[in-house]
Amino acid sequence: MRNIVLASTTILVVIVVLTGAGLFVVEVETTSPEPVTFSETVTMGVSFDDEIDDPDVELPRAQVFYSQYRYVVGYYGVERFVDAQRQEGHEQRFGYPLTVYVTDYSGTELELSAEGYPRTDDRVDWTDAESAWFVVDSDARAPDGETAVPFSSRDDAETYAADSGGSVITWDDLLEYEIELEDARTVRDRVDKRQTDADSLVEHRRAVADRPVKTVVGENETIQEAVSRTPTNGTVVVPAGTYEELVEIDRPVTLEGKGDVTIRGDGESTVVMIKSPDAAVRNVEITNVGDSVMPEEQETVTDGPSEGGDTVLETAYAGGDAGVYVDDAPGVFLENISIVTPSNGVMLRDSPKTVVRNVSVDGGEEWGDSYMGVMSMRSGDGIIEDSAFRDGRDGIYTHRSHGLVFRNNTLERNRIGVHLMFTGETVIADNDIRAAEATGIHVMTNPHQNAVVGNHVRNNPTGIRTEGWNSYVADNVVVDNGLGMTTEAGNSIYEHNVIVGNEVGIRATHYLPANRVLANDFVDNDRHVQARRGTLRIWTHDGVGNYWHGTVGDVDESSADDGEPVVFSRSYSATDPIDSRLHRSGGSPTLAQAPLFDELATLEGTVSGMREASVVDTAPRCTPANPGRLEAAGIEPVEYECGVSHP
């Protein structure tokens, strides 16, 4: 487990409780702490360590000692700290920065890689940010956008700027400087375009697959023989019937069934192997697939440093049989295919821009009896849509397959419905996921910029887990799960979700309170929120809070006059012993409205660090934010009134 260093400063803090405006004033005398090893900080942002295959790349970083946060916070990118400290409630959560250190490239032989990443084989040290010089608008880049490059020496900064462009500015200037960042807001703004781009890719791949008929499988001919004699860019038509054989497609042709066509394998192998870009398979059923899912000796392997990069994991996860196996073949089109398999349904390896649509995969009744519905290894920028994955291990599993779109799929009784490993920039939209053995959607292993939108996730031990950074989780209907959702993805936005009838609605799990959680509806959960230990989490943004079934109190009259959602005048804490029971206990509302408790709730909801494992909404809504989605969740429409619990 990684060690996390506590901020070791000598601090004298005086807190003066006031009424009305600010609740406290802090005076601090401190000796400057020494910088720590970055791996020992609580980090914010994406490291991209697993994305950059260059040991000499040294991306800029910052580490910050805060007045009211006990751990040192590490930021991947100086600009990430600059952006964070501008966000609403940042000082309320952390206090103010006591000391900031930044990466120091002075005295190093700094150069930029072909991608623009700063690289040096010299030791990179730390320098105090207030005395550092920063080059902005240069050719330097991090994987998620432009980055500021810091130096302790102005001469070194100006020398670098002369070679790589940009301007040299001070720390005070940088705090006011606008650097375009790709964050959760960027992900949100791109969802519609990503969907439109996916439509275009599907139409393009379909147009490529619509080839003229060149061959029809003869009465005494195998499919393989017909494929072998079909010229490039032709279609092989397979008449109705059952064909007991294995097929390999090694040229850009379309294999298309007419009528009820079944390709029945030998029970020991992959049935259809595709090794050509732009190939297509349509309108067939595939059965009797081999039952090998991985070499026996690799059954417990996990991803990690290994000779040959992904070789170990690839052997474990992409070495079994499949109904359709696409190997090093970009731009394949698979449509209207039914697969019954004891192993994998569709396997994609090094095959980007592949489209899988209207494909059904039925695995073993027990998830351990078969493998993946679709397994995608290093096969990004593709589409999986309008498909059904029932039973088996994972419905959709990915490894380093960035930029995929999964939409309008049905996933039932898998171990995990959608399972992302080392995969970012995906859109997981409008899927129906039910009765998983473990998790409906699990986005894990340091992913970034994923969008999880519009999904219906029901009856799972855990509904949605989104780890990583800069993600957008919105418009989901999460019903009757053990745990509805988590907020494990940092610097992320969770909004307009309907969270109903779960044992725990949301688990607030991230150490750093850097997420926006707003305009969600929490109804009839045993516990609306469960939080891990950490600093205060405020789930309100720009005055927009959430709807909490059971909240009571006086209405903020000013909110009723400005056209904005009507809100309560007191804060609501879903982790508070009393507030958390308001929707379950008949006596709690009376106590919750007691004047003394109201004053304490206001104080605790404002002073950073006054609670542990706490979540506070400073503008709880009187009525739901998403009545249409509540209806979709099976909650009958009712007349909502402020202060009246949902029946």
378-418 pLDDT, tens digit each? 999 999 999 999 999 999 999 999 999 999 999 999 999 99
Residue 133 lies in a domain: yes
Residue 13 lies in a domain: no
Q: Kindly tell me if the per-residue pLDDT of 481 is higher than 50.
A: yes
Least confident range of 126-135, 182-191, 569-578, 597-606? 597-606
The pLDDT assigned to 353 comes to 98
How many CB atoms within 10 Å of residue 585?
14
pTM comes to 0.85
DSSP 273-326: EE-STT-EEEEEEEE------S-GGGTT----S-TTTTHHHHHHHSSS-EEEEE
Band of pLDDT at residue 154, cut at 50, 70 and 90 = very high
Residue 94 lies in a domain: yes
* Strand partners for 462: 439, 483
Rounded to whole angstroms, the Cα distance separating 207 from 278 reads 11
The pLDDT assigned to 43 comes to 81
Residue whose C-alpha is closest to residue 612's, from 535, 498, 525: 535
Residue 66 lies in a domain: yes
The dihedral over CA atoms of 627, 629, 635, 639, expressed in degrees to the nearest 10, equals 10
Contact yes or no for 126/72 (Cβ under 8 A): no
21-68 pLDDT, tens digit each? 222 233 444 567 899 999 888 887 767 766 677 788 899 999 999 888
Q: Kindly tell me if the per-residue pLDDT of 303 is higher than 60.
A: no
Quick one: how far is CA 492 from the chain centroid? 9
DSSP 104-119: E-TTS--EE-TT--EE
Contact yes or no for 276/248 (Cβ under 8 A): no
Q: What is the DSSP letter of 71?
A: B
* Strand partners for 374: 346, 396
How many CB atoms within 10 Å of residue 180?
9
The pLDDT assigned to 251 comes to 96
Q: Kindly tell me if the per-residue pLDDT of 558 is higher than 60.
A: yes
Q: Where are the alpha helices (DSSP H) in 56-133?
A: 78-86, 90-94
- Pairing of the two strands 405-407 and 527-531: unpaired
Q: What is the DSSP letter of 381?
A: S
Least confident range of 304-318, 344-358, 436-450? 304-318
Continuous segment of H or E residues that includes residue 185: helix 184-209
215-262 pLDDT, tens digit each? 999 988 999 999 999 999 999 999 999 999 999 999 999 999 999 999
The pLDDT assigned to 605 comes to 45
Rounded to whole angstroms, the Cα distance separating 150 from 128 reads 10
The pLDDT assigned to 604 comes to 46
* Strand partners for 200: none
Residue 119's Cβ-side half-sphere holds a number of Cα atoms within 13 Å equal to: 13
Share of the chain above pLDDT 90, in %: 59
Continuous segment of H or E residues that includes residue 601: helix 595-604
Residue 414 lies in a domain: no
- Tell me which amino acid residue 320 is: G
Continuous segment of H or E residues that includes residue 329: none
The pLDDT assigned to 50 comes to 64
For the chain, how many structural domains are there in total?
1
Contact yes or no for 322/334 (Cβ under 8 A): no
Contact yes or no for 437/414 (Cβ under 8 A): yes
What is the token pair recorded at 109? 């032989």
pLDDT, average across residues 180-209: 94
Residue 322 lies in a domain: no
Residue whose C-alpha is closest to residue 384's, from 412, 435, 347: 347
DSSP 506-522: EEE--SS---EEES-EE
What is the token pair recorded at 296? 């026996």
The pLDDT assigned to 602 comes to 46
Q: Kindly tell me if the per-residue pLDDT of 487 is higher than 50.
A: yes
Q: Assign residue 226 a region: left if phi > 0, alpha if psi is -120 to 50, beta otherwise?
A: alpha
Rounded to whole angstroms, the Cα distance separating 255 from 326 reads 14
Top-confidence residue, 635 or 616: 616
Contact yes or no for 438/416 (Cβ under 8 A): yes
DSSP 408-454: S-EEES-SEEEEEES--S-EEES-EEE--SSEEEEEESS-BS-EEES
Continuous segment of H or E residues that includes residue 205: helix 184-209
Residue 248 lies in a domain: no
Contact yes or no for 515/489 (Cβ under 8 A): yes
Residue 362 backbone phi and psi in degrees, to 5: -110, 115
Rounded to whole angstroms, the Cα distance separating 351 from 227 reads 21
Summary mean pLDDT of the chain: 85
Q: Where in the sequence is the domain holding 89, given as residue range(s)?
A: 38-181
Residues 6+ positions from 499 with CB-CB distance below 8 Å: 478, 484, 485, 505, 506, 520, 521, 522, 523, 525, 528
Residue 271 lies in a domain: no
Lookup result for tokens 């991209």: 48
How many CB atoms within 10 Å of residue 116?
16
- Pairing of the two strands 133-136 and 322-327: unpaired
What is the token pair recorded at 597? 């408790």
Q: What is the DSSP letter of 6?
A: B
Residue whose C-alpha is closest to residue 450's, from 380, 537, 540, 377: 380
Residue whose C-alpha is closest to residue 52's, from 112, 138, 135, 125: 112
